[in-house]
Amino acid sequence: PEGLHALMMSAGKEYFGTATETDNFGDESYQAILAYQGEFGMITPENSQKWEVTEPRRNHFVYTNADAVSEKAQDNGHLLRCHTLTWHSQLPSFVSSGSWNTTTLTSVLTTHITNVMTHFKGQCYAWDVVNEALNEDGSYRESVFYEVLGDEYIPLSFKTAAEADPDAKLYYNDFNLETSSKKADGAERIVKLVQESGARIDGVGFQAHLIVGQTPSRQTLAALLSRFARLGVEVAWTELDIAHDFSSSSSNGSSTANATQLEQQAQDYVSVVGACLDEPKCVGVTVWQFTDKYSWVPSTFPGRGEPCLWTADYKKKPAYDAVSRLLREA
């Protein structure tokens, strides 16, 4: 085998995947890599399954783009990781600025989850049921869901999801769990909250939006994954990218990575993917786009960028070669 997914399978894991979106479908060079046999085994829609897209107005459901991503997965023989149901961001205004009470918001939330999951029933290997419910200090993030329903909205989401699609794995997904121990404590509290409610939670997704040179070691990351595995859930890297911080002094004003920075990025990718290899309950790795051309990072964090495995003009970066070597030797 040579592609990342094929190598990942040989290493005993389930998939190596990538986020993608319908905006990328007309780019032939991009599509050639996405479809290359053995490179990827899983795709995640980067935006098209989010609430503002799937239910922009109450009880008005739109699946055009999400269906197109699902068809792309089928065409390429890839699994689909579905993303995401209960999230404070990319909410339509009818949800975020409605005046709700417990009964009405419960109805809106369960209707959304049931409708979306029923539409994609049988197509999703896993769903990110609840996304980013935590602040950096591990407390619950203020959101319309938390304000009206308290932490009960979390088990409610999982219970509703389990009923809608009994075959999809159900995940809690968040970022900075890798770097904030208080936030990781919060995620552990969420897993236990759902388990103690009697609802099903199958996995914790660690987004892993990381920074070159500030990525924890393989050993630290593996310990984090195994801490969650011990709770009885599987784990995965769900949105991996490792951005250069071009505002740092080592960049000397440049906004293109030099050889040293590319080598550090490669080492950091090896730490993250290696930690998954080290934890038997880590099922796979998803990168959040595979080319710098379409990364979300530079527009959201000016001064940061080039976080992906391929350059913007589709050359494999040292990080690609390092991950490939790591998996070949696993």
Note the residues at the interface with ligand G3I (CB under 6 A): 46-47, 89-90, 131, 175, 207, 239, 296
Nearer to ligand G3I, 140 or 294 (CB): 294
Q: Are 188 and 174 in contact (CB under 8 A)?
A: no
Nearer to ligand G3I, 100 or 175 (CB): 175
Nearer to ligand G3I, 90 or 217 (CB): 90
Residue 219 CB, shortest distance to ligand G3I, in Å, is 25
Q: Which residue of the chain is nearest ligand G3I when measured via CB?
A: 296
- Cα distance from N-terminal residue to C-terminal residue, the chain: 13
Q: Are 289 and 296 in contact (CB under 8 A)?
A: yes
Out of 21, 39, 55, 132, pick the active-site residue: 132
268 CB contacts (<8 Å, ≥6 apart)? 210, 212, 213, 215, 242, 319
Residue 44 CB, shortest distance to ligand G3I, in Å, is 9
Bond from prior residue into 84 cis (ω within 30 degrees of 0): yes
User: Measured between alpha carbons, how far is residue 282 from residues 60, 178, 203, 238 in Å?
Assistant: 37, 14, 9, 11
Nearer to ligand G3I, 27 or 278 (CB): 27
User: Measured between alpha carbons, how far is residue 138 from residues 87, 131, 276 in Å?
Assistant: 16, 14, 24
Instruction: With CA atoms as reference, report the closest residue to 88 among 77, 97, 78, 76.
Output: 97
Strands 203-206 and 169-174, bridge-based pairing:
parallel
Does residue 239 carry a catalytic annotation? yes
Euclidean distance between CA atoms 108 and 95, whole angstroms: 8
Residue 205 CB, shortest distance to ligand G3I, in Å, is 9
Does residue 152 carry a catalytic annotation? no
Out of 14, 46, 234, 239, pick the active-site residue: 239
Nearer to ligand G3I, 63 or 296 (CB): 296
Degrees (nearest 5) of the Cα angle 238, 241, 243? 155
Euclidean distance between CA atoms 266 and 252, whole angstroms: 21
223 CB contacts (<8 Å, ≥6 apart)? none
Nearer to ligand G3I, 49 or 106 (CB): 49
Instruction: With CA atoms as reference, report the closest residue to 158 among 127, 200, 206, 106.
Output: 200
| Catalytically annotated residues | 132, 239
